[in-house]
Amino acid sequence: MKILAFETSCDDTSLAIVENGVKVLASVKVSQVEHNQYGGVVPEIAARLHSENWRGALEKCLNLAKISLDEIDALAVTQGPGLQTSLLTGTTAASFLSLFWQKPLIPVHHTLGHISSVFLDAPEFYQKNFPVLVLTVSGGHTDFFLQKSFTEIKKLGQTLDDAAGEAFDKVAKMLGLGYPGGPIVSNWAKKGNREKYAFPIPNLGKNSLDFSFSGVKAAVYRQIEMEKNQENFAGFSETFIADVCASFEETVWKIFAKKITVALNQNPNAKALHFVGGVSANKYLRENLAKFLANLGVDFRITTNFEYCTDNAAMIASAAYWLYQKNPEIAKIQFVDANSRLKF
C-alpha cells in the first residue's frame, strides 16, 4: 500500500510517499528560513509559505518516487496538534486531492507520526517486539509513552511547561544565536565546559514521569543577566556562550537520564527505548543515551535518518499505514478538519 502524506503542522512543508509503512519512496521537505530573523515561527508567514510551496513539493515527490498517480492507494495528513493556520493548509490541500482524485484520506495525530518515525527504512525494527518506551521530544512536546502496538500508545508523562526543544530555542534566543536553537546550542556546547554552571534538575516527585524545563530556562536567563550586569560588559564572550550551552545541554541530559531510570523501573517489561522528535537529532543526547542504555542492557532505537527526527511527512504516511491496518474504515474519501485540540 502506497500512501502520499502531507505534514504542515509548523514551519516545514513536507510531503512523502511511503510503501507499507516503512519503505520511503520519496520525502520532500521545503524549509522556511523566513522565520529565522524573528527568532521563532510566525504563524501567518508559515501558512502563506505552505500554500505557495505544497504544489511544487507534490510534483517533486511524485517525480522522485517515479510512480504515477494511479499507484497511490491513499492520502494522509497531519490533523493536529500544531499551528492552526499551518494545519489548515495541509488538511485543505489533502482534502481537496482526496475529493478530486477520489482517493481515501487518513487523518493522523502528529505525535503518532513521530512515534512511527523509527520504523522508516528500518526493516530490522519492523517486526517489532512491543512494548517499548518512547521518549518524544520536540519543539512543541516532550512526552513519555509506553507503546504496546503500532497504534496502541499509553502516555506515562509529559512536560508541565516548556518542551525541551522550546527550551533549546529560548536559550539560543537569549544568547542572540538565532533559530532554530537546538542545532546551534548543540554546536556551541561541543566547545564548552559542561560542568561550569549547575542549572537545576527539577524534582517533580520520585515516581513522576512528567518533565519541566522552565526552571532550567529561568536559571539560564539569570546567568545571562548576571553576565550582562558585569562592569565593562561588551557582549558575550565565546567562552561564556559555549559554557552556558554546554551546561544547559548537560542539564537536559541529566533530566532525561533521571526520567528514563524511573520509566525503566516502572516498566520492566519494556523491550527497548525509542528516542524520537526534533531533539532526537541531538548528537550528544543520542550518544549518551546509547551508552547509558547499553550499560543497562536495554535496546536503544533512533531514526535511520536525521531527516526523520524533525517534522516530516514520511512519519505521517507510516502512522497512517498502521492506523489503516488496524481499522481500514479510517480510510475514507473525505474532507478533514484541522483540530489542534486532538487528545492523545
Residues that bind ligand KG4 (CB under 6 A): 10, 138-140, 165-166, 168-169, 180-183, 186, 277-279, 281-282, 310-311
Minimum CB–partner distance for residue 91 and ligand KG4 (Å): 17
Q: How far is the CB of 172 from ligand KG4 (least distance, A)?
A: 8
Please report how close the Cβ of residue 226 comes to ligand KG4 at its closest, in angstroms.
25
| Residue 45: half-sphere exposure toward Cβ, Cα within 13 Å | 13
Of 229, 138, 219, 134, the C-alpha closest to 180 is: 138
Residue 340 Cβ, how far from Zn ion at the closest point, in Å? 13
Positive or negative torsion for Cα 253, 259, 261, 264: negative
Cβ(272)–Cβ(116) below 8 Å: no
When CB distances are held under 5 to 8 angstroms depending on the partner's kind, the choice from Zn ion, ligand KG4, none that residue 159 binds is: none
Cβ 239 to ligand KG4 shortest distance, Å: 21
Q: How far is CA 270 from CA 31, 136, 151, 287, in A?
A: 36, 16, 16, 20
136 binds, among ligand KG4, Zn ion, none (CB under 5 to 8 A by kind): none
Query: Which option in ligand KG4, Zn ion, none does residue 180 bind, with CB closer than 5 to 8 A by kind?
Result: ligand KG4
In the complex with Zn ion, which residue's Cβ is closer, 249 or 311?
A: 311
Length of the chain: 344
188 vs 322 by CB, closer to Zn ion: 322
Q: Which of 162, 281, 296, 187 is nearest to 238 (CA)?
A: 187
* Residues 72, 17 contacting (CB under 8 angstroms): yes
Q: Which does 183 bind (CB under 5 to 8 A by kind): ligand KG4, Zn ion, none?
A: ligand KG4
105 vs 316 by CB, closer to ligand KG4: 316
186 interface partner picked from Zn ion, ligand KG4, none, CB below 5 to 8 A per type: ligand KG4
Residues 301 and 331: their CA atoms lie apart, in Å, by 30
Burial 29-55 (b: 16+ CB within 10 A, else e): bbbbeebeeebebbeebbbbbbbebbe
Choose the one of Zn ion, ligand KG4, none that binds residue 113, judging by a C-beta under 5 to 8 angstroms depending on kind. none
Cell of 140: 512543541
User: Given the complex with ligand KG4, which of 10 and 289 has the nearer CB atom?
Assistant: 10
Return the number of the residue (90 or 139) whose C-beta is nearest ligand KG4.
Answer: 139
Residues engaged in binding Zn ion (CB under 5 A): 138, 311
For residues 90 and 54, give the distance between their C-alpha atoms in angstroms, rounded to a whole number: 8
For the bound state, the minimum distance from the C-beta of residue 168 to ligand KG4, rounded and expressed in Å, comes to 4
The residue (of 31 and 193) whose beta carbon lies closer to ligand KG4 is 31
Cβ distance to ligand KG4 smaller for residue 31 or 151:
31
- Residue in the structure block whose three cell numbers are 498517480: 69
237, HSE (Cβ side, Cα atoms, 13 Å): 8
Helix and strand numbers (H, E) in the chain are 10, 10
Partner interacting with residue 165 (select from ligand KG4, Zn ion, none; CB below 5-8 Å by kind): ligand KG4
Rounded to a whole number of angstroms, the minimum distance from the CB of residue 317 to ligand KG4 is: 16
